[in-house]
């Protein structure tokens, strides 16, 4: 099946190799089970929903279907589709009566987080949410070290504006540690980011 972005560019799905678990491993780690950041957050949001903690969901990406094949009457196969519009942020919802809107990104870099992982329309969207009094932030994950941070939008905007003015095109890990807060990994919930939200915003 072929997907295209709004600018017509073809979407290419990345093949992520599955991680093998060694039976001889002496140390069991719950922080690295081959799950992506998105999967971890989705699992966490389901936990929050199940226990009436918050209602937060991943935003669906609207697509326009242009080519469908019907091999049988009861089955339809989508062959080609286009993303209708650029997405804003990944997640939104309500927590303790406050609107929450955030983006989740990860990198394999060890010492910095590239700002090219973000898009101008995402920054603009978060800024509008911020101006309306909503809670908006980004969750950043360094995948190789399994370190995760919650960075408030104000800090992200500072680094973004610095880049736009000719400065660094990335955020140093030390800067993220200084301006953000660590998010711990666990089992239930998997990524308890609302614990950090409570500390910062409530």
DSSP string across 73-118: TTEEEEEEEEE-S----SEEEEETTEEEEEEEEEE--SSEEEGGGS
Mean pLDDT value across residues 172-182: 98
What pLDDT was estimated at residue 136?
A: 98
Return the higher-pLDDT residue of 68 and 152. 152
pLDDT digits (tens, 9 = 90+) for 35-60: 799 999 999 999 999 999 999 999 87
Return the higher-pLDDT residue of 16 and 41. 41
76: confidence class by pLDDT, cuts 50, 70, 90: confident
Query: Which three-class secondary structure state does DSSP give residue 125?
Result: helix
Mean pLDDT value across residues 103-122: 95
Mean pLDDT value across residues 149-162: 98
Instruction: For residue 27, report the phi and psi dihedrals to the nearest 5 degrees.
Output: -110, 125
What pLDDT was estimated at residue 139?
A: 98
Rounded Cα–Cα distance for residues 64 and 78 (Å): 11
What pLDDT was estimated at residue 110?
A: 96
| Domain-wise residue ranges, the chain | 34-60+86-201
Taking CA 110 as the corner, what is the angle to CA 121 and CA 199, rounded to the nearest 5 degrees?
A: 65
CATH class of the 34-60+86-201 domain in this structure: alpha beta
33: confidence class by pLDDT, cuts 50, 70, 90: very low
Rounded Cα–Cα distance for residues 10 and 52 (Å): 40
User: Residue 72: how many CA atoms within 13 Å on its side-chain side?
Assistant: 2
22: confidence class by pLDDT, cuts 50, 70, 90: very low
Rg (CA), the chain: 19
77: confidence class by pLDDT, cuts 50, 70, 90: confident
69 pLDDT higher than 50: yes
- Residues 157, 163: contact at Cβ < 8 Å? no
Structure tokens at 36: 């992506």
Taking CA 60 as the corner, what is the angle to CA 30 and CA 84, rounded to the nearest 5 degrees?
A: 135
For the chain, give the mean pLDDT. Answer: 84
């Amino acid at each position: 099946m072929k997907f295209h972005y709004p600018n017509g560019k073809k979407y290419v799905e990345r093949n992520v190799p599955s991680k093998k678990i060694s039976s001889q491993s002496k140390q069991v780690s719950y922080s690295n089970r081959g799950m992506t950041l998105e999967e971890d957050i989705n699992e966490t949001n389901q936990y929050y929903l199940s226990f009436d903690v918050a209602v937060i969901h991943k935003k669906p990406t609207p697509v326009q279907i242009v080519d469908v094949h019907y091999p049988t009457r009861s089955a339809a196969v989508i062959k080609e589709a286009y993303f209708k519009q650029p997405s804003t942020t990944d997640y939104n919802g309500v927590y303790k009566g406050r609107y929450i809107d955030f983006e989740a990104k990860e990198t394999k870099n060890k010492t910095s987080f590239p700002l090219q992982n973000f898009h101008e329309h995402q920054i603009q969207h978060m800024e509008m949410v911020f101006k309306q009094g909503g809670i908006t932030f980004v969750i950043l994950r360094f995948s190789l070290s399994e370190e995760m941070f919650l960075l408030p939008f104000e800090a992200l905007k500072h680094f973004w504006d610095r880049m736009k003015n000719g400065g660094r095109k990335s955020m140093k890990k030390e800067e993220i540690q200084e301006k953000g807060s660590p998010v711990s990994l666990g089992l239930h919930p998997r990524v308890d980011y609302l614990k950090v939200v409570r500390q910062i915003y409530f």
